[in-house]
Amino acid sequence: MLERLTATASPATTTATAIAAAASGGSRWFGALLLFAAMLLTGLPAAAEPMLLIRGALATNATSERFVPGTAVVPVQLPDDWAVTRPGYEGSVWYRTGFDRPPGTDPHELLALYIERACSNVEVYLNGHRIFSGGRMSEPVTRNCHYPQLVTLPAALLQERGNLLDLQVQGHALARVASRQRAGGLSALEIGPQAVLAAAYEQRLFWNVTSVQVVGVVLAVLGLVTLALGWANRGESYLMHFGWLALGWALMSARLWWRDLPWDTGVMESLFCVGFAPVAGLAVQFLLSYAGLRMRRIEIALAVQWVLVPATLLLAGPNHLFLMASGWYVLLMAEFFAAVGLYLRETWHSRRDDFWPMLMLLIALAFAALVELGVQHGVLGLPHIQMLQFAAPLIFIGVAVRLLQMFAHALHAAEAGRTTLEVRVREAAAEIERNFTLLAELRVEQVTEKERKRIAGDLHDDLGAKLLTIVHTSESERISTLAREALEEMRLSVRGLTGRPMRLADALADWRAETVLRLGQANIEADWRGPVEETEQLLPARGFVQTTRILREAVSNIIKHSGASHCKVRCAISDRQFGLTIQDNGKGIPMELDGKLDRGHGMSSMKHRAKQMQGQCLVESGPGYGTVIRLTLPL
């Protein structure tokens, strides 16, 4: 009935290599996560200490307070899986086994009992003394299924030989729980030095509980971050889906470590089972929206499923919970993998970059899911590591990191876009400002031009008409000449007001035509020579008007006073200035008494006009020598 064995092998290492192999070739970020997991796995127990492995016991289904020896007692092998040995049984089972102090252990060494799995809860009695309780033994029973137990064996109660070890296990029938991991049962027992077993216990606790809790917290935080991102970017609905998915999964993983729940096991198991429908739905939604394939019908079907799951569980009753849960698990997984297929197909066409990493991740997930399915249907034994519980959140974290990476990329791109946009806006603003300034200048020019024209019109209509009347009605020739001159002056002034700059070549043409015509009418031979080549230089309107006056005055003088028969005009244009020389062969300008030239010939007004234009007008004359007028103007 009692066997002495030494545990030697560590079965977990093979699983670890399997995971690593499944993921090899995946993307870098997922690879890094796996490397981390592999590092954690390398320290699993490989004990060489002398130890007792107890693989058999006497068992009886009884709710009594003590192990009662009697007819109902049967020998059982450990581990004892209730689903096999006592199907449908629900309640308390007493186990009795005996042991001697393991040989080779120091008499002072503290010994302990290590129970890898006792589901749902266990109390331990040594030689009739209760030495350990895992929690509540009546409903709601403390859920210790995923917790290993380490019971220190008090030295005072321990005998060298023939120690009696009684264990009361409170458990549930497989049919009434949602997962095989939480069906009643007791693993093999190990007795050995407390220090050695504590290490094994802690490793087991870490993998079964702590890792799930840590990953759950990380997942919850990632979920919240993604939710916040999704909230800020409503257009990216997959962010919201993923956030809720991560949060949902984190919440659901509580079933593995949350021991004391307020309701009895049947209710809690049903609730957890119900919770899988939305989680799976969110996973499907996430994949579809991430691939840009949101379909109204699928959304409605998923929502209906939320309602359908609890309804079927209720209808089936608590005694068929495992059956219903298993059925739903298969269905939900099928849905999920269908979504995966759609997603991968879409990604293959539109986002090839994402395809391979996502394919690797999803293959790993599919592998974990298949293992879990095998476990639930009893094809595979209860695993040492909760594959799905461990792999799925890691994969979620991988996906979340990918999402955040994409978001960061998008943010970066948006930032770059914003900077470009800012530069463009600045350029556009500068352009607008420039145009506005131009437009304002143009407007000012237009308004000024319009005003000039108005003034010119008024002057012609009013002053012009009056002067004209004087010209043609005055009896005195002197007055009509004065009025005519005044009119001409007015006209030139107005042209100075209204005129635009003029091409110098055009101005020369105008002056030539007028001068030659006037001299010709006075029977004076005109000899005008200007520059041969055309120039594009411009002359301001005022310069044109003033020069016209000077030239007109000079020609008038020649016609009226000089008595010349010949007049020579020469024009010279350089880059900076132009010069006009008017020479006649007349009698010259008579000198006044003070040696100055005759004022009556208008010489001073010609000089004055030239000075106004920053130019100069030189007059050379002597009796009998004719007159030379040299006009020089800057351009």
Q: Which two tokens stand for residue 398?
A: 């991988």
Q: Which CB atom, from 171 or from 464, has the smaller least distance to another protein?
A: 464
Q: How far is the CB of 568 from another protein (least distance, A)?
A: 16
**C-alpha to C-alpha distance for 332 and 53, rounded to whole angstroms:** 40
Interacting residue with another protein among 201, 511, 544, 578 (CB under 8 A): 511
Q: Which CB atom, from 345 or from 453, has the smaller least distance to another protein?
A: 453
Binding of another protein by 509 (CB under 8 A): yes
Taking residue 8's Cβ as centre, other Cβ atoms within 10 Å add up to: 9
**C-alpha to C-alpha distance for 86 and 621, rounded to whole angstroms:** 147
Q: Which residues lie closer than 8 Å to 433 by C-beta, 6 or more apart?
A: none
Binding of another protein by 599 (CB under 8 A): no
Instruction: Write down the H helix ranges in 233-264.
Output: 237-252, 254-257
Taking residue 418's Cβ as centre, other Cβ atoms within 10 Å add up to: 10
Across 532-564, b (16+ Cβ under 10 Å) vs e yields: eeebeebbebbbbbbbbbbbbbbbebbbebbeb
Interacting residue with another protein among 130, 472, 596, 608 (CB under 8 A): 472
Q: Which CB atom, from 431 or from 461, has the smaller least distance to another protein?
A: 461
Q: Which CB atom, from 139 or from 506, has the smaller least distance to another protein?
A: 506
- Considering only the stretches 18-26, 344-352, 504-512, 586-594, report the one whose residues sit in contact with another protein under the rule CB under 8 A: 504-512
Q: Which two tokens stand for residue 623?
A: 């009796």
Q: How far is the CB of 545 from another protein (least distance, A)?
A: 12
Interacting residue with another protein among 294, 320, 452, 484 (CB under 8 A): 484
**C-alpha to C-alpha distance for 468 and 474, rounded to whole angstroms:** 10
Q: Which CB atom, from 151 or from 507, has the smaller least distance to another protein?
A: 507
Beta bridge partners of 76: 57
E strand segments, 217-324: none
Interacting residue with another protein among 53, 62, 331, 468 (CB under 8 A): 468
Contacts with another protein, 49-88, as mask; x by CB under 8 A: ----------------------------------------
N-terminal to C-terminal alpha carbon distance within the chain = 128
Interacting residue with another protein among 25, 128, 154, 457 (CB under 8 A): 457
Across 146-168, b (16+ Cβ under 10 Å) vs e yields: bbbbbbebeeeebeeeebebbbb
Q: Which CB atom, from 105 or from 498, has the smaller least distance to another protein?
A: 498
Q: How far is the CB of 537 from another protein (least distance, A)?
A: 16
E strand segments, 454-524: 502-503
Binding of another protein by 570 (CB under 8 A): no
Beta bridge partners of 95: 59, 167
What does the CA dihedral 208, 209, 214, 219 come to, rounded to 10 degrees? 80
Q: Which CB atom, from 307 or from 517, has the smaller least distance to another protein?
A: 517
Interacting residue with another protein among 22, 508, 559, 631 (CB under 8 A): 508
- Considering only the stretches 65-73, 182-190, 455-463, 588-596, report the one whose residues sit in contact with another protein under the rule CB under 8 A: 455-463
Q: Which residues lie closer than 8 Å to 208 by C-beta, 6 or more apart?
A: 146, 147, 148, 256, 386
Binding of another protein by 467 (CB under 8 A): yes
Count residues binding another protein (CB under 8 A): 30
The DSSP secondary-structure symbol of 87 reads T
Interacting residue with another protein among 128, 154, 162, 520 (CB under 8 A): 520
Binding of another protein by 544 (CB under 8 A): no
Binding of another protein by 487 (CB under 8 A): yes
Binding of another protein by 461 (CB under 8 A): yes
Interacting residue with another protein among 1, 440, 465, 572 (CB under 8 A): 465
Binding of another protein by 11 (CB under 8 A): no
Binding of another protein by 449 (CB under 8 A): no
Q: How far is the CB of 544 from another protein (least distance, A)?
A: 11
**C-alpha to C-alpha distance for 15 and 11, rounded to whole angstroms:** 7
Residues near another protein, by CB under 8 A: 457, 460-461, 464-465, 467-469, 471-473, 483-484, 487-488, 491, 495, 498, 506, 508-513, 516-517, 520, 528, 530
